[in-house]
Amino acid sequence: MIRINVAEAKRHLSQYLTRVERGEVVVLCRRNVPIAELRPVSRASERRRPWGLAKGEVEIPDDFDAPLPDDTLADWEGRD
């Protein structure tokens, strides 16, 4: 972990961001008092999710895309 003052961070931001990308944590200070941390963001998994993880757990009725009844549609549209 490195501690730097804000002025130093402004001057050499790209250098500190490179270090953060490598896994280091940078603590930003104002007058040597810590105010924030720069740390790497966890990366999303590169692996694709397999199909069918919820197979058999969800049942979709045959009429799921049928038009809504007028009273239900009126509720959704904010009509009385």
Instruction: Give the C-alpha distances (Å, rounded to integers) separating 70 from 58, 64, 67.
Output: 27, 16, 9
Show the domain range for 27. 2-38
Tokens standing for residue 63: 């009429």
How many domains are there within the chain?
1
Rounded CA-CA distance 44/72 in Å is 40
The answer to the question of residue 44 being in a domain is no
Instruction: Please tell me whether the overall predicted TM-score, pTM, comes out greater than 0.85 for this model.
Output: no
Instruction: Give the C-alpha distances (Å, rounded to integers) separating 45 from 12, 18, 37.
Output: 31, 21, 24
Q: State residue 42's pLDDT score.
A: 85
CATH code (residue 29): 3.40.1620
The answer to the question of residue 9 being in a domain is yes
The answer to the question of residue 24 being in a domain is yes
The answer to the question of residue 30 being in a domain is yes
CA 46 to chain centre: 16
| Per-residue pLDDT tens over the stretch 2-59 | 999 999 999 999 999 999 999 999 999 999 999 999 999 987 778 888 888 888 898 8
